[in-house]
Structure 1
Amino acid sequence: MATDSTHSTSQTRSTSGIDTHPDLMALRGRYAEASAKPISGLIEGLCLLTGLYLAISPWVVGFTGFTGLRVSNLITGIALAVLAMGFGSVLERTVGLGWCAIAIGVWTIVAPWAITGPNAAITHTIVNNAIVGGVAIALGLATMGLGFMGGRRRAR
């Protein structure tokens, strides 16, 4: 008899979990509304393209002699592209990860000096990473702002 009551209690807990909480449902609805806006697709697409460009930029710009920086750009570019694909597919679960895109952007700006040291006088590597890093930071901030877009109309 005790087994039956324990079993029915565990079924009740699983159906009335956090997934059905009204605040969580409202938050997911807000993110779903924000992800349906055209600006959301634009931000996600630009973030994906920025990540892909960052990954291939050492070969496009010509980072000859900078193997460490080449590997860094490849890895961080792939990470940014994967993050952007997450923004595009499940924004309501990844919108809080916009800070990762910001961190990738900051690292991209700092990487020429952090990896090659103070001898990073090759301007094309610095300019490339500064521009791409700045774009990644801006897109990360924009992604974080997407969560506020869904509730803006109701607040007015």
Structure 2
Amino acid sequence: MGTGTQHPDMMGSHPEMTEMRDRLERTASSGPAVVLEGLILLTGLYAAISPWVVHFAGQPFITVNNLIVGITVGLIGLGLALAPERMFRLAWMLVPLGIWLFISPWVVTATHSARAGIVWNNCWVGAVTALLGLAAMGMTIGRSHKGQRR
């Protein structure tokens, strides 16, 4: 048991926190990051409208699944564009969302026999989503390691 009092504001004044915020801000405002944010937003929008594009909107479970996951991915992309210094830490969420999109045709469809169009669509969109999430995470990790080598 410690006898000292802990102050919640002490972490905010830590010198490494300022450096980390500056690094994230530099990363988030770079050209590749802006392109990545746009691609994440577009991927989310496509995932949300894909049931109508690929014509499987008649299957309610997978349609609702793609709509919810697509809107979530799109909101993460929008958040990255509007407040990148805060949202870059949430980029890791894109990886499990992409994996879920990839496997959802087999998990969500009631008959467990999803049509080829649904499977191909979700496999591609899921893979792209997961790769974009890995790229966003890699940008912050890469910046951190480059800064330490100097």
Q: Same fold (TM over 0.5)?
A: yes
Stretch of structure 1 that moved more, 17-26 or 43-52: 17-26
Q: How many percent identity over aligned positions? A: 36
What code does the residue aligned with 1:155 have?
R
Q: What does 1:1-156 correspond to in 2, within 5 Å?
A: 17-116=10-109, 117-120=111-114, 122-151=115-144, 152=146, 155-156=149-150
What code does the residue aligned with 2:113 have?
N
Stretch of structure 1 that moved more, 62-71 or 23-32: 62-71
Q: Could you tell me how far apart the structure 2 residues matched to 1:153 and 1:118 are?
A: 49
- The alignment of Structure 1 onto Structure 2 pairs a total of residues equal to 142
Give the gaps of 5 or more residues in structure 1.
Answer: 1-12
C-alpha RMSD over aligned residues: 1.8
Give the gaps of 5 or more residues in structure 2.
Answer: 1-6
What code does the residue aligned with 2:112 have?
P
Return the offset for 1:19: 2.3
Larger radius of gyration: 1
Retained in 1: the 8 A contact 2:43–2:70?
Answer: yes
Return the offset for 1:97: 1.6
Moved over 3 A (4+): none
Determine which structure has the larger helix proportion and give its number.
1
Q: Evaluate the alpha carbon distance shift between residue 17 and residue 64 of structure 1 in structure 2; reply closer, same or farther with a 3 A threshold.
A: closer
